[in-house]
């Protein structure tokens, strides 16, 4: 039972354009969402997060949007750079109980020069 789903295993974008990575979740108890970036042979690196009381959070080139009614969040990267090429994981947690993160399966982003 996948509670966090990233339905696109890969995405290719031209340098300078916008990258949009999507994530859906099924557990309505999730109240905190995070995006991580992962390079090969390295651990995930935190990018940006959003609490369920917000619908948007922005940090430089990265913006996360949350649509609670649709149980959907997205990560926008603009402008995309070749160094952004990595696997992006969406993660969610229910801060009221267990402190674990539930991860999606990841999306491989390739930014073409």
Partner 1 sequence: NAGVMQNPRHLVRRRGQEARLRCSPMKGHSHVYWYRQLPEEGLKFMVYLQKENIIDESGMPKERFSAEFPKEGPSILRIQQVVRGDSAAYFCASSPGPLNTEAFFGQGTRLTVV
43 makes contact with partner 1 (CB under 8 A): yes
**Residue (11 or 79) nearer to partner 1, CB:** 11
Please tell me the count of residues contacting partner 1 according to CB under 8 A.
Answer: 25
99 makes contact with partner 1 (CB under 8 A): yes
Q: Which of residues 4-23 bind partner 1 (CB under 8 A)?
A: 4, 6
36 makes contact with partner 1 (CB under 8 A): yes
Q: Please check whether residue 27 is in contact with residue 3, taking contact to mean a CB–CB distance below 8 angstroms.
A: yes
CB contact set of 100 (below 8 Å; sequence gap of 6+): 93
Alpha carbon distance 67, 101 (integer Å): 19
């Amino acid at each position: 039972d996948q509670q966090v789903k990233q339905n696109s295993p890969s995405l290719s974008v031209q340098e300078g354009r916008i990258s949009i990575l999507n994530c859906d979740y099924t557990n309505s108890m999730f109240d905190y969402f995070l995006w991580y970036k992962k390079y090969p042979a390295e651990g995930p690196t935190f990018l940006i997060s959003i609490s369920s009381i917000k619908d948007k959070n922005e940090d430089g080139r990265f913006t996360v949007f949350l649509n609670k009614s649709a149980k959907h969040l997205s990560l926008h990267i603009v402008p995309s750079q070749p160094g952004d090429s990595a696997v992006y994981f969406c993660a969610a947690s229910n801060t009221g109980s267990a402190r674990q993160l539930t991860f999606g399966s990841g999306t491989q982003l390739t930014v073409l020069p």
